[in-house]
């Protein structure tokens, strides 16, 4: 694409939904009585990231250096009308998908990895560290760190590490160092390994290890999701989508996305929140991780060790060990506080889909549109297909966020391929 056109579509600011919420967001809460886990964030996150997390600026200017890298990794991403899928479903309305799989690392994760690594680099720290489920976030972290010359230590949930060996190769190619989590690199990891030697691992354990590693090595922790700042950075997705729809003379009636911690979903849908209640917004989770229907809306731990402050969110409990579904990115026990609030108030609806529905949706999407979507994104596609089937006689404009590609997740299709 021509650069000037890119800049027409790309927003100049990130959008933070908090000033536009219908009710106040509950502040984070210390996990322990005698120390402030909120204050500890000063040693865990880059200062600028922390500042953005707590200043709640509605529009946060995207630094030029970040804009440049956004273009380098493939922003703006395409918004494509899924005509083949419409035809296959016999739908009278329109289906569009925003394709975050088109970025260099294959998912939306790079949208927040770049600014976080950039701010860490500016601060002159030793390196960055994080956890990863499916490996998408680890890949984005490794690339972003590498772009800014920082080492990256990545804790990959053990089950994903075993299921997706190629992800490790990708992260290594981007100069990232990857270990299965729980690992022997941290005290917390060693403790879990001793107590549960066969644990498949969880994102909560991975976060705890990465945070401990950051504190011990003067690294900074990269926030994949859940915390508001990651949703703010991801708002490039929704803002681009709005602009692209506007250029096409279209208006979204329905927005659908998948939720792990809420970053791609919040980034995609929140820029539409100030426009009023007309657009229907649906958040899809995995049937096996039913946080919105079976979880409680309460303060809960973000990481299993309780080093980070507690957040008020929908949660299945920080010690919830989800089944080992393929969509590793959706196994997280909670969801971002701002998203949780909007779900609780009924502004955003939720849906759950089963793994077999997801596989069918991924097959249909591959067959019709040619895109092999990530299993996480397959949840959103499944909800969209179900929506169309349930509203056959309507002719709405449905926009789905396809948060990533699934080229490294093909084993989900097993022998039948």
Ligand X SMILES: Cc1ncc(COP(=O)(O)O)c(C=O)c1O
Rounded CA-CA distance 165/134 in Å is 10
Q: Do residues 223 and 214 make contact, with C-beta atoms less than 8 angstroms apart?
A: no
User: Least distance to another protein from the beta carbon of 309, Å?
Assistant: 8
Q: Are 365 and 381 in contact (CB under 8 A)?
A: yes
Q: Which is nearer to another protein, 29 or 392 (CB)?
A: 29
Q: How far is the CB of 111 from ligand X (least distance, A)?
A: 10
Smallest gap from residue 318 Cβ to another protein (A): 18
Does residue 124 touch another protein according to CB under 8 A? no
Is 383 strand, coil or helix?
Answer: helix
Contact in structure between 30 and 79 (CB atoms under 8 Å): no
Closest distance of CB 333 from another protein, Å: 21
235: left (phi over 0), alpha (psi -120 to 50) or beta: alpha
Q: Of 194-202, 215-223, 252-260, 287-295, which segment contacts ligand X by CB under 6 A?
A: 252-260
Give the helix, strand, coil percentages of the chain, each rounded to 5.
Answer: 45, 20, 35
Judged by CB under 8 A, does residue 67 bind another protein? Answer: no
Q: H-helix or E-strand containing 364?
A: helix 355-369
Question: Which of another protein, ligand X, none does residue 259 bind to, with CB < 5 to 8 Å depending on kind?
Answer: ligand X
Nearest by Cα to 98 from 242, 295, 289, 312: 242
Q: Which is nearer to another protein, 57 or 217 (CB)?
A: 57
Residue positions counted in the chain: 417
Query: How many positions of this chain bind ligand X (CB under 6 A)?
Result: 21
Q: Which listed option, another protein, ligand X, none, makes contact with residue 26 (CB within 5 to 8 Å by class)?
A: another protein
CB of 207 to ligand X, least distance (A): 13
96 binds, among ligand X, another protein, none (CB under 5 to 8 A by kind): none
**How far, in Å, CA of 3 to CA of 6, rounded?**
5
Q: Which is nearer to ligand X, 170 or 330 (CB)?
A: 330
Of 133, 182, 295, 322, the one binding ligand X by CB under 6 A: 133
Contacts (CB under 8 A) with another protein, residues 21-40? 21-30, 33-36, 38-39
Query: Smallest distance from the beta carbon of 48 to ligand X, in angstroms?
Result: 21
Phi, psi of 313 (to 5 degrees): -160, 170
Task: Say if residues 348 and 283 touch (Cβ distance below 8 Å).
Answer: yes
265: partner contacted, choices another protein, ligand X, none (Cβ within 5-8 A by kind): ligand X
Site for ligand X in 374-413 (CB under 6 A): 374, 376-377, 403-404
Q: Is 201 in the site for ligand X (CB under 6 A)?
A: no
Query: Least distance in Å: CB of 130 to another protein?
Result: 21
Q: Quick one: 62 or 362, whose CB is closer to another protein?
A: 62
Q: How do strand 79-81 and strand 127-132 relate by DSSP bridges? A: unpaired
Taking the C-alpha atoms of residue 378 and residue 358, their distance in angstroms, rounded to an integer, is 5
Closest approach, Cβ 250 to ligand X, in A, equals 24
Residue 134 binds ligand X, judged by CB under 6 A: yes
Verify binding: residue 136, ligand X, rule CB under 6 A: yes
What distance separates the 2 farthest-apart alpha carbons in the chain? Answer: 61
Nearest to 17 by CA among 309, 239, 186: 239
Residue among 37, 77, 208, 263 that touches ligand X (CB under 6 A): 263
Return the half-sphere exposure (C-beta side, CA atoms, 13 A cut-off) of residue 358.
28
Which two three-digit tokens encode residue 34? 């005698």
Q: Record the tokens describing residue 93, joined without a space.
A: 């309305």
The Cα 296–Cα 193 span in angstroms is: 29
Map the footprint of ligand X across residues 323-362, applying CB under 6 A: 329-330
Beta carbon of residue 22, minimum distance to another protein (angstroms, whole number): 7
Other CB atoms within a 10 A radius of the CB of residue 84 amount to 15
Q: Are 185 and 193 in contact (CB under 8 A)?
A: no
Kindly indicate which of the ranges 112-120, 300-308, 356-364, 373-381 contains the residues binding ligand X, using the contact rule CB under 6 A: 373-381
C-beta of 109 vs 312, nearer to another protein: 312
Stretch that binds another protein, among 19-27, 112-120, 138-146, 356-364 (CB under 8 A): 19-27
- DSSP letters spanning 297-309: EEEE-SSTT--SP
Footprint on this chain of another protein (rule: CB under 8 A): 18-30, 33-36, 38-39, 41-42, 47, 50-51, 53-57
Footprint on this chain of ligand X (rule: CB under 6 A): 107, 133-134, 136-137, 225, 258-265, 329-330, 374, 376-377, 403-404
């Amino acid at each position: 694409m021509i650069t000037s056109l890119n800049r027409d579509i790309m927003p100049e600011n990130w959008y933070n939904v908090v000033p536009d919420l219908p009710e106040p967001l509950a502040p984070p809460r210390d996990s322990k009585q005698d120390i402030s886990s909120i204050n500890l964030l000063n040693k865990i996150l880059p200062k600028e990231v922390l500042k953005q997390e707590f200043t709640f600026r509605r529009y946060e200017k995207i630094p030029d250096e970040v804009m440049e890298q956004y273009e380098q990794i493939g922003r703006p991403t395409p918004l494509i009308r899924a005509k083949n899928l419409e035809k296959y479903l016999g739908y009278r309305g329109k289906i569009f998908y925003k394709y975050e799989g088109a970025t260099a690392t294959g998912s939306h994760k790079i949208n927040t990895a770049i600014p976080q690594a950039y701010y860490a680099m500016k601060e002159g720290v030793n390196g960055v560290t994080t956890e990863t489920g499916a490996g998408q976030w680890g890949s984005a972290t490794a690339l972003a760190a590498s772009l800014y010359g920082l080492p990256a230590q990545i804790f990959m949930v053990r089950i994903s590490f075993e299921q997706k060996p190629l992800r490790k190769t990708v992260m290594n190619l981007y100069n990232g160092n990857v270990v299965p989590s729980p690992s022997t690199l941290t005290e917390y990891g060693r403790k879990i390994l001793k107590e549960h030697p066969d644990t498949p691992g969880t994102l909560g354990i991975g976060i705890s290890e990465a945070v401990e590693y950051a504190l011990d090595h003067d690294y900074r922790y990269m926030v994949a999701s859940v915390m508001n700042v990651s949703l703010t950075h991801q708002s490039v997705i929704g803002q681009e989508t709005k602009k692209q729809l506007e250029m096409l003379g279209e208006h979204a009636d329905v927005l659908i996305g998948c939720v792990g911690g809420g970053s791609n979903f919040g980034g995609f849908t929140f820029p539409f929140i100030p426009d009023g209640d007309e657009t229907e917004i649906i958040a899809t989770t995995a049937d096996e991780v039913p946080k919105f229907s079976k979880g409680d809306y309460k303060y809960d731990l973000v990481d299993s060790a309780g080093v980070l402050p507690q957040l008020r969110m929908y949660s299945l409990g920080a010690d919830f060990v989800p089944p080992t579904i393929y969509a590793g990115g959706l196994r997280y026990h909670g969801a971002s506080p701002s998203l949780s609030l909007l779900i609780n108030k009924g502004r955003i609806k939720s849906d759950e889909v089963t793994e077999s529905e997801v596989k069918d949706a991924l097959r249909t999407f591959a067959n019709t549109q040619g895109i092999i979507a990530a299993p996480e994104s397959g949840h959103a596609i499944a909800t969209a297909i179900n929506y169309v089937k349930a509203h056959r006689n309507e002719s709405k404009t449905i926009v789905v966020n396809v948060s990533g590609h699934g080229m490294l997740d093909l084993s989900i299709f097993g022998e039948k391929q």
